[in-house]
Structure 1
């Protein structure tokens, strides 16, 4: 008995900011192997810089992504951070429009995220095997932007509402807010090895559902 783990998402999924093997994906895979006592084969489709629109388009049109989801017993998803990063850059260029820029970005991110989840469910409809989907929540890498916490909180609440026997949401906001720079890499945006381990532990704590 073995399982296939497909990881999709942004630079958190690639493990950017940590040494090789210390991103949340390989750490979580090892935890899952220990928990289920069976081999876990990893297919990591993370892409640095990917935002919610980009992932939505890949799942809609890219056969490699669709087949990887179809084959997976375990799926993790990290997305949304680059949507906030893009909005934060726009705010720096147009600070007077901060509220408008962030609200528009949030609305688009939620819409794309909902479409991503629906597509995953649709792709998996024909699967007779049980599977689980685990979603990594967002932390706020921009505490200096007054409305960024609100943006992240609203996205996390939206993503958490999908929780079900298949879908689990890993809330990492508090851990990163409390421990701050201790969990971030030198760029002060991406997690370091400690930060990624926190993410993996939160995912692992959600259990394995029907697997």
Structure 2
């Protein structure tokens, strides 16, 4: 009997000494933010040569304020098919999202700009046909079906909150395209709202950051002149609305 007791004690001590600890985030470790998207989270034209992401881009500003570790995976020029493919096949993207505590998604801007440019070319300046052609080009781009697929793929990897940014008006008030964008962007952005609402019901924690409302008519402050990318002030505004929807600004 004594031998059995000694053996049990030995097994218990050995199990405590050599057992593998459960993998858990250190209580002092920072939470992580992964930013997916295009040149906007990249911080394009905030650095002189655009060779690396700008530390003034909104994901880093969110990280500074919220004390988050940031992985910025924004790529200038990217459209929805490119991000979707990378999220499905590139382990760098998959692992980053899998380990994220928060995800931001800023994509679709280049798809929509390409549709706008195609509509301008094909309409030949005829305003009567422009809107119909633009709608056709947007539908042909499958931009919102792709964004839906991106959300689904991201959600298959993580249950972290995903913040979707809609589209601000990138044109200055004196640019004729500003009025056109003001006419078409509310209906475009309704698709972002509907996607966020649908997937939030399906999966939970799918949130919308309203860039369009945040920028309003203040392109002179928030958009770089003769450009379509945010100024530092614009990036600060994008960080602010992202923190707001995540409840990290308190």
TM-score of the aligned structures, taking structure 2 as reference length? 0.71
What CA distance in whole angstroms lies between the structure 1 residues aligned with 2:216 and 2:139? 20
Q: In structure 2, what is the equivalent of residue 105 of structure 1?
A: 138
Q: In structure 2, what is the equivalent of residue 2 of structure 1?
A: 30
Are 1:145 and 2:184 matched, yes or no?
Answer: no
Q: Which residue, 191, 199, 203 being the options, matches 2:238?
A: 199
What CA distance in whole angstroms lies between the structure 2 residues aligned with 1:181 and 1:103? 31
Q: In structure 2, what is the equivalent of residue 91 of structure 1?
A: 119
Report if aligned partners of 1:18, 1:185 keep a CA contact under 8 Å in 2: no
What's the secondary structure of 1:190's corresponding residue? Answer: coil
Alignment RMSD (CA, Å): 2.2
- Choose 1 or 2 for highest CA Rg: 2
Q: In structure 2, what is the equivalent of residue 159 of structure 1?
A: 195
What CA distance in whole angstroms lies between the structure 1 residues aligned with 2:184 and 2:146? 19
Shift in Å, 1:174: 1.7
Q: For this pair of structures, how many residues does the alignment match?
A: 198
User: Per-residue CA shift, 1:124-167, capped at 9, x if unaligned?
Assistant: 2xxxxx62222222112242436532443333323331346522
Q: In structure 1, what is the equivalent of residue 151 of structure 2?
A: 117
1:54-65 residue pairs with structure 2 within 5 A?
A: 54-65=82-93
5+ long unaligned stretches in structure 2:
1-28, 48-53, 124-128, 171-176
What's the secondary structure of 1:50's corresponding residue? Answer: coil
What CA distance in whole angstroms lies between the structure 1 residues aligned with 2:151 and 2:122? 32
1:13-52 residue pairs with structure 2 within 5 A?
A: 13-19=41-47, 20-33=54-67, 40-52=68-80
Are 1:188 and 2:188 matched, yes or no?
Answer: no
Query: Relative contact order: is structure 1 or structure 2 higher (C-alpha 8 Å, sep ≥ 6)?
Result: 1
Report if aligned partners of 2:41, 2:58 keep a CA contact under 8 Å in 1: yes
TM-score of the aligned structures, taking structure 1 as reference length? 0.83
